[in-house]
């Protein structure tokens, strides 16, 4: 995916997240020469899981994606900057950077997870699109 621009005027570099990754997912990334670690995990309603379709929309109505971003300095003393429920199109202020998961028209169906990608890899239809931008 190419970088994307949100109405704030910030240009976001796409997260290096493979579509066939297992979730929860850990992503290493950098912005302006600073290293970060992002943890992404779906919070899925356990009561409705068995009846849910094979592809679950993480739209926030009942099921959603949670993001944790931490500084990853060379010395290894990680510090969490933000833990937050993800909402489409909302820019998340994480101190030195912003994180966003764009909604339409930039990306449609960009927060969905395949049941088979929960603790398992493979191309099953998971689609998580997000980005990071410097302050």
Sketch the domain layout of the chain as residue ranges.
4-134
Angle at 9 (CA atoms; ends 65, 34), nearest 5 degrees: 65
Helix (H, G, I), strand (E, B) or coil at 32: coil
pLDDT tens for 3-30 read 999 999 999 999 998 878 899 999 999 9
State the burial class of residue 123 (Cβ atoms within 10 Å of its Cβ: 0-12, 13-18, 19+): exposed
Entry pTM: 0.89
Look at 5-9, 103-107, 121-125 and tell me which has the smallest mean pLDDT: 103-107
Q: How far is CA 31 from CA 41, 70, 87, 132, in A?
A: 22, 12, 22, 7
Read off the pLDDT band of 122 (50, 70, 90).
Answer: very high
Sheet holding 4-5, edge to edge: 4-5, 11-14, 131-134, 97-100, 91-93
């Amino acid at each position: 995916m190419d970088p994307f621009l949100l109405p704030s005027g910030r240009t976001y570099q796409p997260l290096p997240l493979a579509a066939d990754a297992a979730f929860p997912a850990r992503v290493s990334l950098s912005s302006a020469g600073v290293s970060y670690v992002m943890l992404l995990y779906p919070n899925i309603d356990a009561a409705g899981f068995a009846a849910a379709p094979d592809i679950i929309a993480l739209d926030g109505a009942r099921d959603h994606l949670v993001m944790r971003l931490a500084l990853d300095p060379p010395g290894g003393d990680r510090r969490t900057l933000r833990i937050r429920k993800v909402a489409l199109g909302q820019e998340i202020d994480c101190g030195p950077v912003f994180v966003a998961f764009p909604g339409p028209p930039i990306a449609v169906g960009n927060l969905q997870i395949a049941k088979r990608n929960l603790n398992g890899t493979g191309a099953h239809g998971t689609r998580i699109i997000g980005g990071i931008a410097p302050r």
